[in-house]
Amino acid sequence: MAKLILSMDGLVLNEVALAKERTTIGRKPHNDIQIDNLAISGEHAVILTLLKDSFLEDLNSTNGTFVNGQAIKRHFLQHGDVIELGKYKIKYVNEPPAESDALDTDQTMAVRPEEMSKLAGQMKAQKATDPASVTSIAPPSPAELPTARAFVQILIGAGAGKEMEITKTITTLGRPGTQVAIITRRPQGYFLTHVEGNRLPVVGNVTIEANKPHPLQNHDVIEIAGVKMEFFFKN
Amino acid sequence: MASTPTANAVTNDSKAIVELFAISDNGKVRSHNEDSVLVAPGLGLAVLADGMGGYNAGEVASSMATSLIGVGLDKALADRPPGERVAAGGYWAHEAIIQEVRRANEAIYEAAQSQPQYAGMGTTLVMALFFGDTMTVAHLGDSRLYRQRGDDFRQMTRDHSLLQEQLDSGMISASEARQSANRNLVTRALGVDPDVVPEVCDYGIEVGDIYLFCSDGLNDMVDDEELAQALQLLSANLQVCATQLITMANDNGGRDNVSVILARVQHVVPRSRSWWQRLMDWVK
């Protein structure tokens, strides 16, 4: 479960687990996290928690709510975020699951429609009027790719001498309707696979197998649809 | 862990409306495969299910779903063609699918209730029946159907998931959704409640259409742009295309089981027009 760690000047004051759907922060005593300081509004901010996700909303506080130095109206909390209210800091801790736990977290689960609409309804009702402020989020890191750049150069046939860098996940070679093969870029390297046509591509002097990716080596010569080309790496 | 395909089927019956290819893979992390796929080229049927539940219950639920629906529809369509109109005006296919999905739901629900090791099991479902110039699609949960038609690639099903509901209500943005820890929570599934309402729609099909049915193990790992690219470049060979999709999911981490069914429309049988429609055409 996610939790909040309240501190001031590096001194930890309190730790609160986000067990409730609504966790309020403010100066008045009825708040779940009470901060008795005049810089804090009576009802300063609220954290809405829906299962494993939490959203922070500023409740039009006088001095504002900041996350990682930025003023926010509404913010989708990420592990490690630091919320600042006046001199107080609140760290949001929601450890992403370790690789070994991936089994549990990626498991598909059903939620009952009643629970669902209840949850969604509450979230909707509590939703702030200004949903605009959204922090930019880095895209998931792509799979590791081979570092050397790969090219094919046409040796014999139409367009001899032409060189092409292989940058995409899938690159097609050949002529549609006659003979087509693809080079796929994978973390393990580059592979040639037959796609279309009665004849299979030849690598070196060997005809590759149908429906089986053929790993390409530096300086392999590929023959497809009457065109010979060389596959090679450049650093 | 080596990822080994656990199921695949190919059909090249040139007389069939669709060419179908199905493959299911364990992925790189999971210890077993809870997905099930079924294709019946003669019927023009494709069914994909992503099971859930402890131990091996997920596998039981998903394989019950695919096989019960396959057998049930085979029977339901034996005496009555899918394109026949029913009293309410819709296709028999539409009604037969709802009927068989509900039957499968009942069977899975009962098994889950009566056998402790299956308690709480359920499964997602995405399926289509191709006939004439139409396909009838049914789905529950977050398994998806995409269509590639010419340059147009689009998702035909809308997930029944918490994330999708949050997106619809404006709670979170698409980029926030990618960061959400609430993945994999489906709001409709087969076998979880005594009765179920599948979302069922009819669509027109065209020669050359490619349909991609997949479990979330694919679309969680590979973004739509890459899916579209693979379909566009590899549509000439469904087997290579499906295998490539699985490879892409596994190369990106393969955190879940990955299942893919590809369907290519080979020919379309136009519906015979009623005397009234013919008269209207003639008047125009």
Provide the pLDDT for residue A94: 87
pLDDT at B11 over 80: no
What is the pTM for the complete model shown?
A: 0.78
% of chain A exceeding 90 in pLDDT: 53
Q: Give the model confidence (pLDDT) of B146-172 as tens digits.
A: 999 999 999 999 999 988 988 888 888
Instruction: Tell me the mean pLDDT in the region A115-125.
Output: 52
Chain B residue numbers touching A170 (CB-CB < 8 A)? 229-230, 233-234, 244
Q: Report the pLDDT value the prediction gives residue B182, as an integer from 0 to 100.
A: 78
Task: Say if CB A45 and CB A66 are below 8 A apart.
Answer: no
Tell me: the pLDDT tens digits for B197-218? 999 999 999 999 999 999 999 9
- Where residue B50 falls among pLDDT bands split at 50, 70, 90? very high
In this complex, is the C-beta atom of A148 within 8 Å of any C-beta atom belonging to chain B? no
User: How many beta-carbon pairs under 8 angstroms link A with B?
Assistant: 138
Which chain A residue's Cα is nearest to B182? A52
Query: Which token pair is B22?
Result: 């199905």
Of B162, B239, B256, the CB nearest to A106: B256
The SS3 of residue B119 is coil
Alpha-carbon gap, residue B136 to B139, rounded angstroms:
10
What is the average per-residue pLDDT within A56-64?
93
What would the two tokens of residue A229 be? 């080309």
Question: Looking at CA atoms only, how far is residue A115 from chain B in angstroms?
Answer: 9
Sign of the C-alpha dihedral computed for residues A109, A114, A117 and A120 taken in this order = negative
Token pair listed for A215: 């790993």
Can you say how many angstroms the Cα of residue A28 is from the centroid of all Cα atoms in its chain? 39
3-state secondary structure of A36: coil
Q: Tell me what percent of chain B is helix, strand and coil, each rounded to the nearest 5.
A: 35, 30, 40
* Average of per-residue pLDDT across A67-86: 92
Q: Is pLDDT above 50 for A133?
A: no
- The confidence band for B175, taking pLDDT boundaries of 50, 70 and 90, is confident
Please tell me the total count of domains within chain B: 1
Distances in Å between the Cα of A164 and the Cα atoms of A57, A201, A223 are: 51, 19, 16
Local structure of B249: helix, strand or coil: helix
Statement: residue B261 has pLDDT above 70:
yes
Q: Tell me which of B8, B178, B179 to substitute to probe the interface with A (most A C-beta atoms closer than 10 Å).
A: B179
Substitution target in A21, A48, A76, A108 with the highest count of B β-carbons within 10 Å is A108
A125: contact with B, CB 8 A cutoff: no
Q: Taking CA atoms, what residue in A is nearest to B253? A: A143
Separation CA A171–CA A185 (nearest Å): 8
Q: Distance from A38 to chain B by nearest Cα, in Å?
A: 32
- Chain A interface disruption, residue of B19, B142, B176, most A CBs within 10 A: B176
The DSSP letter of residue A6 is E
Name which residue leads in pLDDT, B74 or B180.
B74
CATH classification at residue B212 = 3.60.40.10
Does A125 or B137 have the greater pLDDT score?
Answer: B137
Q: Find the CB nearest A172 among B122, B172, B233.
A: B233
Give the helix ranges, DSSP H, for chain A. Answer: 102-105, 113-126
Chain A residues touching B226 at Cβ < 8 A? 169
B47: containing domain: 5-283
Q: What percent of chain B has pLDDT over 90?
A: 74
Asked if A170 contacts B231 with a C-beta cutoff of 8 angstroms, the reply is no
- Distance separating alpha carbons of residues B100 and A139, to the nearest angstrom: 41
Q: Does pLDDT of B189 surpass 90?
A: yes
Predicted confidence (pLDDT) at residue A106 exceeds the cutoff of 60? no
CB A76 within 8 A of CB A29: no
Torsion angle of alpha carbons B187, B189, B194, B196, nearest 10°? 90
> Across-strand partners of B278?
none
Interface of A with B in 90-119 (CB under 8 A): 94, 96, 102-103, 105-113, 116, 119
Of A96, A105, A110, the CB nearest to B52: A110
Provide the token pair at B72.
Answer: 């049930």
Query: Mind telling me how many Å the CA of B143 is from chain A's nearest CA?
Result: 11
Q: Is the pLDDT of residue B51 over 90?
A: yes
